[in-house]
């Protein structure tokens, strides 16, 4: 086998993908075969053309899993693919250069149900194009290559590009190189108002204020943009924004997630994450602390706290369950999270049998499992609280903070009279809350005596097979003898210089965060069933640069944000859109819908309601009544949603209490992750429920009312000026005359309607607990509220550019 570097790989697949897309949707051209022949690449590449076909259609029966392998034939390794077929005399599946004698060609071309491959009962088939690819590959000599993701990244020379004045950072050379090959041009730079909006959401998760926009527009210095980036990266909101993505990955929740779903206290860990991002803790340490902080020499409170990462999984207290079954499930969860979050591999596939697509045996799976199998824990911890040992007690000074937090909160409730009457009741609630919030934090620890680990046959908790020791899959990177066989050694392995995956997987996720799509569009799967990188050399360059920078996340972010690629305008005509709907080639700027958190945070920010306060226990903003009761049990198992008041209603959405069996509905409707399992990519859908949330959720109605007050107060004297101000808050740009006309007409019509029926104006304005400004005429304010709600609902307002 000829090992190859990533430099050997090129990416004609994408061109074919595009060609196919056009072919498929415009079947006007001549005959199918001509079409197929025409779009075939001149040189077929194993990694980019052939392995994806073999993996997807053949590995199930001819892949790594020895137990389901048919006819002893395997296509996942070179020796297997070119081996003598044991079912027949002197025949081979693949004979390089020879179509006639290659059994594979015979089988995939046959229509005989007995012979054809894939067999009919598999419900899988090959398209004529795929068959032609396989044929051409064999004809061209059937060159075999290792899977790209398991070869360590290597740096390449900077590509030459058609317009050397365009690139701003190294990234741009790689992007332009491909645009050149397509004959495409990048889009011009985004206008400054839209650019600061994009930047602000990407770095802080919040919209820019009109003052910030003005300052940026006024700043004509060449360093203006860079300074803006630096300022935003230095803001505390940066840590919050970055943490949201991490909480999805770490399946963070405020309840245990199974059955009665009792509360647990993991928010001190969440606050540590925010702080770590803000202090720019190097990524290798950031991850290593979370993997093995407790095992580090002189482990501090924070080191131990970080390990709560691996205890964020769901836990149960259901009476009838078998303790060991669920204990095993927790270890499985940690192992699979390691796969999706750090290795970009679907390790879970190897829990019950050898992986069907990637070179991970079941034994190797349990080798990884063994690292996480040493926790002195129970699978079933019966208690009316959601936490289970091992614990980390909250330190004294933090306890005081928590007391102060509860005091603050309850005094607001007391004033609001939501807690009825006596000081005694107050005292009682105070103690309840305190005992809840002083629950210790669940963290990792290893037992003094190692728990023996076995392969679990079929993945069943008590079907113990062969004993295994802690180790990592060989095909990724052998586990060095120098590493301790514990989580600390595992984290050293993850950050070994030669590790092919850790850095790539990380930069790919952050790329996805900014550009909406990873360079590998399956961030959780870099294996043979995952997507191929659209810009393999860029991925490698980013990975190496990230590592060489000392795993400096802010540096990585800045590299991407400074690029000309990032700064392109996202506004393109339909024609251009159709050429590359997913913007794979990045010939335009990123265009994404805001996340669930950003949409709500923006409404709070532009209305002026947002309370920016870092960290603390989860809060309970408005939520439709009884949602918790509808799913929960009765009596002492019941949990009622006790909505907060005052600042609790207006904190950033990442602090909203996350109940896993009934997550906050407005957030779920906007595709927030359920936090049941590690999630590294959210969906972005468009549904009628989303329209209902933005139009009718009290949170958004109240924000509209307060936003309207602000428009009146700060927007000038005339309706048109106020509309202009509001429009700019919501979209970061000035409206044109026609935009204003439409909204002004809405305002006037609304005004007339509310004048006729002032009672409706009064009703509309009573939504929400925040006080009403007294200066404004209610009828006028109601009409502005309707305008404000419209602004919040505009498609443009819920997109980042």
Of residues 335-364, which lie at the interface with another protein (CB under 8 A)? 340, 346, 349, 356-358
DSSP 437-496: HTSPEE-----SSPPPEEEEGGG-TT-EEEEE-S---TTT-PPPTTS-SSHHHHHHHHT-
**457 lies in the binding site for another protein (CB under 8 A):** no
Contact pick of 368, 667, 701, 712 for another protein (by CB under 8 A): 701
Asked if 690 is part of the footprint of another protein (rule: CB under 8 A), the reply reads yes
Q: Which residues pair with 255 in a beta bridge?
A: 263
Q: Which residue lies nearer to another protein by CB, 157 or 574?
A: 574
Which of these, 644, 359, 642, lies nearest to 478 by C-alpha position?
359
Asked if 454 and 465 count as a contact pair (C-beta separation under 8 A), the reply is yes
Contacting another protein (CB under 8 A), which of 34, 685, 714, 718? Answer: 685
Q: Find the binding residues for another protein in span 613-632 (CB under 8 A).
A: 624, 626, 630-632
Cβ 289 to another protein, closest distance in Å? 27
Cα four-point dihedral sign 155, 157, 160, 164: positive
Backbone dihedral angles phi then psi of residue 521, each to the nearest 5 degrees? -75, -5
Candidate residues 152, 374, 508, 529; the one interacting with another protein per rule CB under 8 A: 529
**Which x/- pattern over 112-151 shows residues binding another protein (rule: CB under 8 A)?**
-----------x---x------------------------
- 693 part of the interface to another protein, by CB under 8 A: yes
Distance CA 583, CA 563 (A): 16
Task: Supply the minimum distance, in Å, between the C-beta of residue 106 and another protein.
Answer: 24
Residue 689 sits in the site that holds another protein (CB under 8 A): yes
Q: List, in sequence order, every beta strand (DSSP E) within 307-417.
A: 391-392
Q: Residue 125 burial by CB count (10 A; 0-12/13-18/19+): exposed, middle or buried?
A: middle
10 or 461: CB nearest another protein? 461
Q: Is 261 in the site for another protein (CB under 8 A)?
A: yes
**Closest distance to another protein from the beta carbon of 347 (Å):** 10
Q: CB–CB of 742/725 below 8 Å?
A: no
Between 4 and 321, name the residue whose CB sits nearer to another protein. Answer: 321
Kindly compute the dihedral angle of the four CA atoms of residues 136, 140, 144, 148, in this order, to the nearest 10 degrees. Answer: -70
Among 2, 688, 771, 775, binds another protein (CB under 8 A): 688
| Nearer to another protein (CB atom), residue 479 or residue 585 | 585
What is the dihedral sign for C-alpha 733, 738, 742, 743? positive
Q: Is residue 255 a contact point for another protein (CB under 8 A)? A: no
Which of 266, 306, 394, 572 lies at the binding interface for another protein (CB under 8 A)? 572
Closest distance of CB 201 from another protein, Å: 17
> Segment near another protein (CB under 8 A), from 85-93, 136-144, 502-510, 577-585?
577-585
- First-to-last C-alpha distance (Å) of the chain: 47
Both structure tokens of 641: 């949603």
Q: Helix, strand or coil for residue 478?
A: coil
Least Å distance between CB 774 and another protein?
19
**From candidates 491, 662, 709, 732, binder to another protein by CB under 8 A:** 662
Residues 380-439 that bind another protein (CB under 8 A): 380
- Least distance from C-beta 574 to another protein, angstroms? 4
| DSSP labels, 126-164 | --HHHHHHHHHHHHTT------GGGSPP---PPPP-S-T
Could you tell me which of 734, 754, 751, 753 has the C-alpha nearest to residue 796?
734
Nearer to another protein, 66 or 466 (CB): 66
Contact between 763 and another protein (CB under 8 A)? yes
Tell me how far apart the alpha carbons of residues 145 and 4 are, in angstroms, rounded to a whole number.
7
Of the candidates 464, 543, 469, the one whose C-alpha atom is nearest the C-alpha of residue 508 is: 543
| Closer CB to another protein, 213 or 661, in the complex | 661
Encoded tokens for 797:
């307002």
CA distances 329 to 55, 197, 439, 486, 762, Å, are: 28, 43, 24, 19, 54
Instruction: Quote the least distance from Cβ 631 to another protein, whole Å.
Output: 4
**Strand, coil or helix: what is 706?**
helix
Give the number of other Cβ atoms within 10 Å of residue 763's Cβ. Answer: 11
Give the x-and-dash track for 23-52 against another protein (CB under 8 A): -xxxx-------------------------
Interatomic CA distance for residues 244 and 328, integer angstroms? 28
Site for another protein contains 596 (CB under 8 A): no
Q: DSSP state, 210? A: H
Which CB sits closer to another protein, 386 or 616? 386
499, two tokens: 């590790």
Contact call for residue 663 and another protein (CB under 8 A): yes
Instruction: Find the binding residues for another protein in span 298-337 (CB under 8 A).
Output: 314, 316, 318-323, 329
Interface of this chain with another protein, residues 147 to 206, rule: CB under 8 A:
none
Select the residue interacting with another protein from 240, 764, 780, 781 (CB under 8 A). 764
Q: Which residues contact 287 (CB under 8 A, 6 or more apart)?
A: 342, 491, 494, 495
> 708 to 747, contacts with another protein by CB under 8 A?
738-739, 742-743, 745-746
């Amino acid at each position: 086998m000829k090992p190859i570097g990533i430099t050997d790989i090129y990416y004609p697949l994408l061109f074919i993908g595009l060609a196919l897309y056009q072919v498929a949707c415009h079947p006007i051209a001549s005959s199918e075969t001509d079409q197929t022949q025409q779009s075939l690449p001149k040189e077929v590449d194993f990694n980019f053309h052939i392995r994806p076909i073999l993996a997807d259609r053949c590995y199930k029966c001819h892949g790594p899993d020895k137990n389901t392998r048919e006819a002893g034939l395997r296509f996942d390794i070179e020796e297997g693919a070119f081996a003598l077929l044991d079912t027949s005399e002197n025949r081979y599946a693949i004979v390089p250069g020879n179509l006639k004698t290659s059994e594979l060609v015979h089988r995939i071309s046959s229509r005989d149900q007995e012979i054809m491959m894939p067999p009919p009962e598999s419900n899988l088939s090959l398209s004529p194009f795929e068959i032609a690819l396989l044929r051409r590959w064999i004809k061209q000599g059937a060159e075999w290559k290792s899977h790209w993701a398991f070869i360590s990244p290597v740096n390449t020379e900077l590509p030459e590009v058609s317009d050397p004045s365009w690139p701003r950072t190294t990234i741009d050379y790689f992007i332009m190189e491909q645009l050149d090959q397509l004959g495409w041009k990048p889009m011009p730079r985004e206008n400054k108002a839209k650019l600061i909006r994009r930047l602000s959401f990407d770095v802080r998760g919040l919209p820019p204020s009109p003052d910030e926009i003005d300052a940026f527009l006024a700043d004509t210095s060449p360093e203006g943009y860079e300074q803006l980036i630096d300022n935003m990266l230095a803001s505390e909101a940066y840590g919050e924004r970055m943490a949201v993505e991490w909480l999805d990955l770490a399946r963070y929740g405020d309840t245990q997630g199974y059955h009665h779903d009792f509360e647990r206290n993991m928010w001190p860990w969440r606050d540590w994450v925010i702080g770590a991002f803000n202090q720019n803790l190097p990524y290798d340490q950031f991850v290593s602390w979370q993997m093995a902080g407790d095992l580090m020499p002189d482990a501090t409170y924070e080191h131990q706290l970080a390990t709560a990462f691996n205890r964020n999984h769901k836990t149960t207290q259901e009476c009838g369950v078998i303790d060991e079954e669920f204990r095993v499930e927790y270890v499985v969860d940690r192992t699979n999270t390691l796969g999706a979050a750090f290795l970009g591999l679907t390790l879970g596939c190897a829990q019950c049998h050898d992986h069907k697509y990637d070179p991970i045996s079941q034994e190797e799976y349990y080798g990884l499992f063994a690292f996480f199998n040493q926790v002195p824990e129970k699978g079933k911890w019966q208690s009316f609280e959601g936490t289970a040992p091992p614990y980390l007690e909250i330190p004294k000074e933090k306890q005081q903070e928590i007391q102060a937090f509860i005091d603050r909160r309850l005094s607001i409730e007391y004033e609001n009279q939501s807690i009825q009457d006596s000081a005694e009741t107050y005292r009682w609630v105070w103690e309840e809350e305190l005992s809840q919030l002083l629950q210790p934090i669940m963290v990792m620890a290893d037992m003094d005596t190692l728990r023996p680990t076995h392969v679990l046959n079929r993945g069943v908790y008590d079907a113990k097979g062969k004993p295994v020791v802690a180790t990592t899959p060989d095909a990724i990177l052998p586990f060095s003898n120098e590493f301790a066989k514990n989580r600390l050694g595992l984290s050293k392995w993850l950050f070994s210089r030669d590790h092919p995956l850790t850095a790539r997987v990380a930069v790919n996720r952050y790329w996805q965060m900014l550009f909406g799509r990873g360079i590998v569009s399956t961030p959780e799967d870099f294996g043979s069933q995952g997507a191929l990188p659209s810009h393999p050399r860029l991925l490698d360059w980013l990975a190496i640069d990230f590592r060489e920078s000392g795993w400096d996340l802010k540096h990585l972010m800045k590299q991407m944000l400074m690029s000309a690629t990032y700064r392109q305008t996202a506004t393109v005509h339909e024609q251009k859109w159709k050429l590359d709907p997913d913007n794979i080639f990045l010939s335009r700027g990123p265009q994404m819908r805001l996340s669930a958190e950003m949409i709500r945070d923006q409404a709070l920010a532009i209305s002026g309601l947002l309370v920016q306060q870092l960290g603390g226990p989860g809060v309970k903003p408005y939520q439709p009544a009884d949602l918790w009761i509808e799913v929960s049990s009765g009596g002492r198992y019941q949990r009622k949603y006790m909505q907060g008041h005052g600042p609790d209603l207006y904190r950033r959405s990442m602090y909203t209490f996350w109940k896993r069996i009934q997550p906050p509905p407005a957030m779920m409707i906007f595709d927030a992750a359920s936090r049941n399992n590690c999630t590294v990519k959210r969906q972005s859908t468009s549904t009628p429920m989303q329209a209902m949330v933005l139009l009718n959720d009290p949170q958004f109605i109240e924000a509209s009312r307060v936003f309207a007050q602000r428009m009146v107060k700060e927007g000038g004297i005339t309706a048109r000026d106020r509309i202009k101000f509001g429009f700019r808050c919501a979209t970061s740009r000035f409206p044109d005359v026609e935009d204003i006309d439409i909204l002004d007409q809405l305002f006037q019509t609304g005004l007339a309607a509310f004048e006729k029926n002032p009672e409706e104006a009064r009703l509309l304005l009573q939504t929400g607990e925040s006080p009403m400004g007294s200066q404004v005429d209610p009828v006028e304010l109601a009409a502005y509220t309707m305008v404000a709600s419209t602004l919040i609902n505009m498609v443009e307002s819920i997109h980042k550019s």
